[in-house]
Amino acid sequence: MVHTPEVVVITGANAGIGRAAARAFAQRGAHVALLARDEQRLEETRREVEQRGGKAIAIPTDVADAAQVEAAADRTEQELGPIDIWVNNAMTTILAPLDQISPADYKRVTDVTYHGFVWGTMAALKRMRPRNRGTVVQVSSALAYRSIPLQSPYCGAKHAIKGFTDSVRTELLHDKSKVHITSLEMPGINTPQFEWCKTTLSCHPKPMGRYFQPEVAARAIVWAAHARRREVHVGSPSMLTIIAAKLAPGLFDRYLALTGIKGQQTNEPIPDGRPANLWQPVPGSYEAHGSFDEEAHKHSIGLWFSMYRNCYLPAASGLATWPAGGKGSEAGD
């Protein structure tokens, strides 16, 4: 039997989580369409995919433009074949208080981080639904449940992605479609976004709390693309954040008011002329990793528990009831 490589589309594929995910799919021999704005880094990622055993095409795309996304989907199917997996990952953000963000900049974050997911999902479902197969992966965030200070455009977009995805999921269920849509709630990840996001802060931005390397996110994406899980909480920080937001939202408000602003900054002053990628890609060979390798974790026990919960939860339940069950069995005999 001839194995047909799966065809994967990844947005935001030229750095950070998207680049790490492209490498991970390449190791499975996938054919990958790489979508992002920077042509140089797209070409670098394309070479990495093919060095790892996959096949790739680089498609310069601004996901805020629905027509560009649709054209990228068309080209993918023409050159690689029917799309099996579509990974919505592209994002941008601004780290600044609300009163220091212009309406145009706020709209731009929304157009990339939220509407980019909408246009990607539309393009994917347009092709997947008639074939009655395929998976859409939404690379979201724990911030879809619990907003933090200084990132109101990004948090608002992630909340919107959750609402949008839940709505689309119910439509697929109503139609008894075999197309699957899944969300991944990411913790902080060490990506170049902290080098190039637009900001009005005086000190260098950083991930907040416990954070991880992009390869952790990539493992979760590849797994979720095949597991048909509704939602995956990537790492214990995401799980704990979501739980705390549900159980004690007011207390969490006060905690973040005290810690959230300082917790997103280092003590390193931002140099003059720092580039920002909000409207144009920042040139240069940015990689999957950002500048916080020393503090970023390479593995996540929380992700492992999330992935394999169907194995250990029944076992734990059985152990909890074993003494009572044992006595009952003896009495019955």
Answer yes or no: is pLDDT of 317 > 60: no
User: Has 162 been annotated as catalytic?
Assistant: no
Q: What is the pLDDT of residue 235?
A: 86
pLDDT of the residue at 307: 81
User: Are 41 and 14 within 8 A, CB to CB?
Assistant: yes
140 is annotated as an active-site residue: yes
Q: Which residue of the set 114, 145, 154, 286 is catalytic?
A: 154
d(CA 188, CA 234): 10
Residue 154 annotated to the active site: yes
CB within 8 Å of 102: residues ≥ 6 apart: none
Q: In whole angstroms, give the CA distance from residue 252 to residue 94.
A: 22
Structure tokens at 40: 């140089």
Number of Cβ atoms within 10 Å of the Cβ of 129 = 16
Residue tagged active-site, from 147, 152, 158, 206: 158
Angstrom CA distances, 179 to 49, 120, 329, stand at 26, 15, 44
Percent of the chain's residues with pLDDT above 90: 83
Question: At residue 329, does pLDDT exceed 50?
Answer: no
- Determine whether 64 is exposed, middle or buried from the number of CB atoms within 10 Å of its CB (0-12, 13-18, 19+): buried
Q: Which tens digit of pLDDT belongs to each residue from 291-308?
A: 999 999 999 888 887 787
140, 147, 238, 300: which one is catalytic?
Answer: 140
Looking at the DSSP bridge assignments, the partners of residue 265 are 205
Answer for the pair 320, 48: CB distance below 8 angstroms, yes or no: no
pLDDT for position 126? 98
Check pLDDT > 90 for residue 67: yes
Per-residue model confidence as pLDDT tens digits over 244-267: 899 999 999 999 999 999 999 999
What are 34's two structure tokens? 């790489």
- Is residue 82 helix, strand or coil? coil
Confidence band for 42, pLDDT divided at 50, 70 and 90: very high
And the tokens for 263?
């917790």
If we measure between CA atoms, which residue out of 4, 58, 14, 3 comes closest to residue 192?
Answer: 14
**pLDDT > 60? residue 215:** yes
Alpha helices by DSSP H, the chain: 16-26, 39-51, 66-79, 103-110, 116-131, 152-174, 193-196, 214-227, 236-247, 249-259, 301-307, 309-332
pLDDT of 327 over the 50 cut: no
CB 123 within 8 A of CB 74: no
User: Which range is least confidently modeled, 145-149, 283-287, 310-314?
Assistant: 310-314
Domains of the chain and CATH, by start: 7-328 (3.40.50.720)
- Residue 75 above 50 pLDDT? yes
Confidence of residue 151 (pLDDT cuts 50, 70, 90): very high
Q: Alpha carbon of 166 to those of 107, 116, 159, 213, 246: distances in Å?
A: 23, 16, 11, 28, 18
